[in-house]
A and B are shown apart, each in its own frame.
Chain A
Amino acid sequence: MMSAYYAGLLADVGILLLGGLSVYIILATGQLSLGNAGFMGIGAYMTSYLTVIAGLPITLALIVTAVVSGAIGLVVGFPALRLKGIYLAMATLGFGEMVRSFFLNLGAMGGSEGFHGMHHISLGYIWTWAAAILLLIVVLERSRVWLDMRAVRDDETAAGLVGLNATTIKVGAFGFGAAVAAISGGLFAHHHVYIEPGNFSFERSIDFVLAVILGGSTVGPGALIGAVLLVMLPEYLRFLAEWRFAAFGALLVAMLLVRRQGLLDRASLRVFALRRTA
């Protein structure tokens, strides 16, 4: 029987993994999104509304929410096409803040008082979703779809010349990422059984990005390593008491210095594969 403490931490890892993956998907096309907490918030509130007020079962609620959030992601993806690099990042930052402000004012879902009533879900349920989506992405990474995405990221003009529709790919990535972030939000809401707008701030968006960059920004499982790091490190650093966060910040910088592509990259995974066939 697993210690409840580690179970709780693993639940956090699963939820953060999905958030990281949502950033990873969009990043794979060369777009940095600093506002995915907004999609997570949409997922959390919509799923909670569906289970608590509309009485839907959780799995159905998550699917519906993912579809709706994906649609919103597609809508966001279109204007995002006009922006590049850090400008896109700032626009997504603004988007995330606007979503948070929206929920703060949404009295029907509690506003700043937050929203209650969700039923609790198990660790197994969270990880079923997390593992399934991770697996999906790992499979997609070996497919043509991901190759197209990387092509668009590396050189959009060349990709266009080869016949790829950069618009579809980039907008589609936003939609897919938004859907995954929404699932993360729905699981979050039913794990903590209480949500408030403050849960979906810029800090959360940055956590997602951190998980991907630290864990490995070029491969899907990188988000898993990053999520484990971000959840477990503050726990292991408890012995430092009031210097805990300074140490965390220092470790963050150190990790980036030592290995800037993140802990995992394609070479690491390839080594694993070679060992298996050898």
Chain B
Amino acid sequence: MAGSSPAMKGGLPNAGVYRLPFPVGYRGETIHVLAQQLVNGLTLGAVYTLIALSFSLVMGILGVLNLAITELFMLGGYFGFAVIMAHLPLPLALAAGMAGAAIVAIVIEKLGYQPFRTAPLVTPMLSTLGFSIILQNIATNVWGSDPLQLTDEVLAQRYTLGGVSVSAMQLTVMGATIVLVAALAFVVQRTSMGRALRAVAENRDVARLLGVSASRITLIAFMLSGALAGAAGVLIGLHYAAITPYIGVEIGLKAIAVMVIGGTTQIWGALIAGPLIGVLEVMTVAYGGSQVRDFVVYGFMILILLLRPQGLLGGSRSDQGQRV
């Protein structure tokens, strides 16, 4: 019967009398809704991972919370949109987004971080906030406050595997995330630049004594972080096919939570925590109710901070925050 509530479709008797926390129906139907929600959660998780990584690059190496990353994400999205709307291919959009965001990141590093290297950490954080305000204003004036939408979605073909529908764009987002994370991990663990990054993170002064140009390294950290945020912006903007100057705001706060949960200095931590929080959020909505979702996510973050401050994948020593 069209439109009848699933509780009436068969399955348990008295299903209308007590409210079960999940849609009751044929076994198969429940499982494939669950699986669909998992796919939703993983896609959202990929979003979080990329932005969390972007935060954590600067946070882990420099100890600074760069609040402008959310706007780098947003700008990356707009640059990517501009390329796609000019009918140019996706890889070019990705490159444009990453390059554009990285360039803006350099400006922020020179004006908003370098001068505050020796200041208490709250000062560079607030200066990046200033940049965030400037970038949002510029974006509103250049592109307008209304959602900018793609007429035809990119990579829209959908594949159905066992009742679960997933689009090519979603697969691209998840795949690109894994590739970007792996590339970043390679750079950090195996290249000399990565070694230098880790050295500065460990102890800036000693690193300089050993010949590492700390200012060059911080510049590289900002650039990489910007490029990652820009990539996230392109991928996510194209997946959702609509963008406003304010998309960074909500998602930024959640990404900070993801960074903390995964372990601020751990790259692989963000890769695990992102999908974990994405799935947690989606399952809370699906089975607990949309209203408590924020409560659950931030509550989980606080719990991790209290019980295991180094994050899920953090090392045994808990990171001592520098004096604020």
Contact = CB atoms under 8 A, between A and B. Distances in A.
A and B physically associate: yes
Nearest to A213: B126
Nearest to B121: A86
A242 B133 CA distance: 13
Interface string B145-171: 000000000000000000000000000
A95 B59 CA distance: 20
Contact of B322 (A85, A100, A217): A85
Interface in A38-86: 79, 82-86
Nearest to A255: B130
B257 interface: yes
A68 B304 CA distance: 27
A13 to B, nearest CB: 20
B292 A101 contact: yes
Interface in A191-206: 202, 206
Nearest to B289: A105
Contacts of B291: 101, 104-105
B302 interface: yes
Nearest to B321: A85
Given A85-B324, A93-B256, A260 B294 contact: no
Given A253-B127, A256-B123, A90 B294 contact: no
Contacts of A244: 137
B133 A260 contact: no
B299 interface: yes
B137 A249 contact: yes
Interface stretch (B31-39, B108-116, B269-277): B108-116
Contact of B295 (A90, A101, A206, A256): A101
B42 interface: no
Given A90-B305, A94-B257, A97-B294, A246 B133 contact: yes
B122 A209 contact: yes
B122 A213 contact: yes
Nearest to B291: A105
A149 B298 CA distance: 29
A50 B38 CA distance: 45
Contact of A253 (B131, B292, B301, B309): B131
Given A86-B65, A253-B130, A245 B256 contact: no
**Residue among A27, A32, A153, A249 having the largest count of chain B Cβ atoms under 10 Å:** A249
A250 B295 contact: no
Contact of A101 (B260, B298, B305, B323): B298
B192 interface: no
Given A83-B305, A85-B121, A256-B123, A93 B133 contact: no
B266 interface: no
A186 to B, nearest CB: 24
B134 A250 contact: yes
Contacts of B313: none
A174 to B, nearest CB: 14
A89 interface: yes
Contacts of B323: 30, 84-85, 153
A159 interface: no
Contacts of B85: none
Size range of the interface on A?
35 or more
A91 B302 contact: yes
Interface in B250-304: 253, 256-257, 260, 264, 291-292, 294-295, 298-299, 301-302
Interface string A239-278: 0001111101110110011001000000000000000000
A87 B137 contact: no
Contacts of A250: 130, 134
A85 B64 CA distance: 10
Given A245-B136, A245-B137, A257-B115, A31 B123 contact: no
B75 to A, nearest CB: 14
A210 interface: yes
B320 interface: yes
Contacts of B292: 101, 105
Nearest to A241: B141
A246 B134 contact: yes
B211 to A, nearest CB: 29
B180 interface: no
B299 A98 contact: yes
Contacts of B141: 242-243
A245 B36 CA distance: 42
B305 to A, nearest CB: 5
Contact of A252 (B63, B115, B127, B298): B127
B20 interface: no
Contact of B116 (A88, A246, A256): A256
Interface string A4-45: 000000000000000000000001001110000000000000
Contacts of B294: 97-98, 100-101
**Residue among B127, B132, B306, B320 having the largest count of chain A Cβ atoms under 10 Å:** B127
Nearest to A246: B137
**Residue among B112, B123, B140, B302 having the largest count of chain A Cβ atoms under 10 Å:** B302
Interface of A: 27, 30-32, 79, 82-91, 93-95, 97-98, 100-102, 104-105, 153, 202, 206, 209-210, 213, 217, 242-246, 248-250, 252-253, 256-257, 260
Given A83-B309, A97-B253, 7 more contacts: A85-B322, A89-B65, A97-B294, A98-B295, A98-B298, A102-B295, A104-B291
10 contacts: A86-B324, A87-B260, A97-B253, A98-B295, A102-B295, A209-B126, A243-B137, A253-B112, A253-B127, A257-B115
